[in-house]
Amino acid sequence: MQLRSRNPADAPLIDPGFLVDAADMPRLVHGVRVARQLAKTPPLSELALRELLPAPDVAGDSSAQLEAMVRQKARTYFHPVGTCRMGPAADAGAVVDRRGRVHGVDGLYVVDASIMPTIPAANTNLPTLMLAERCSAWLGKYEGN
* DSSP codes joined into one string, the chain: -B-SSS-TTSPPB----TT-STTHHHHHHHHHHHHHHHHTSTTHHHH--S--SS-TTS-TT-HHHHHHHHHHH----SS---TT-B--TT-TT--B-TTSBBTT-TT-B--SGGG-SS--SS-SHHHHHHHHHHHHHHHHHHTT-
Domain boundaries, the chain: 24-73, 78-145
- pLDDT, tens digit, for every residue of 30-73? 999 999 889 889 998 998 888 887 777 776 667 888 999 899 88
Report how far residue 39's alpha carbon sits from residue 134's, in angstroms, rounded to the nearest whole number.
Answer: 39
Indicate if the pLDDT at residue 6 is higher than 80: yes
Average pLDDT, whole number, for the chain?
A: 86
> Is-above-0.85 flag for pTM?
no
* pLDDT interval class at 76 (50, 70, 90): confident
Question: Which pLDDT score is estimated for 73?
Answer: 87
One of 33, 36, 79, 99 is an active-site residue; which one? 79
pLDDT at 22 over 60: yes
Active site residue 30: no
